Amino acid sequence: MPKAKKTRKFAVMKRMISLNDPRLNEKDRKPKKIKIPDPHEHKINEAPQYSSALFFEYNTQLGPPYHILVDTNFINFAIKNRVDIVKGMMDCLYAKCIPCITECVRGELEQMGEKYRLALKVIKDPRIETLPCLHKGIYADDCLVQRITQHKCYIVATCDKDLKRRIRKIPGVPIMTVGQHRFIIERMPDAPQI
């Protein structure tokens, strides 16, 4: 004998236990009260603390001489496009520029090996300042992001898309890139428009 097929019941709600059910305890019988906020009570809103150097999106700490944090790939792209780092920065910003390299960036270039020996030669230029790193590891992107969140006095020179995306989330930090055999700056309030 074949089994009868059970049809599904659509739009059936689960049965709810009523408050008068004998299976419930006394404390479960009371409906939960919704707390009504007092209009006279003082509300405390916590806002993220921003740097005192920012005036809206304008960074007041930026000014000549500009300190520019240089990333590994920026050096390589500058060499490929045949642009001198210090001269190219001065042509871009029309002011004195001090390129800065963290120890993490130097370590990353040394790890890349013999292929990038020209980049190592370029960063040994006495005009390029070396900044010490206090953290462990040599991942340069995290180092640069940490440094610019602490101090808003830097411009970041990079061609890395992921690093640029991370920097754009931090207000008041301009980004310098390589393009068309010259340096281009974005998010700089006084930069000449192309």
Tens-place pLDDT, residues 43-66:
767 766 777 777 666 777 888 899
Residue 71 structural domain: 63-186
Q: Is 93 among the domain residues?
A: yes
CA separation for the pair 186, 33 (Å, rounded)? 54
CATH number of the domain bearing residue 136: 3.40.50.1010
CA separation for the pair 182, 164 (Å, rounded)? 18
| Residues belonging to the chain | 194
Domain count, the chain: 1
Q: Is 26 among the domain residues?
A: no
Q: Is 9 among the domain residues?
A: no
CA separation for the pair 12, 18 (Å, rounded)? 18
pLDDT, position 87: 94
Q: Is 5 among the domain residues?
A: no
Tens-place pLDDT, residues 183-193:
999 877 665 44
Q: Is 2 among the domain residues?
A: no
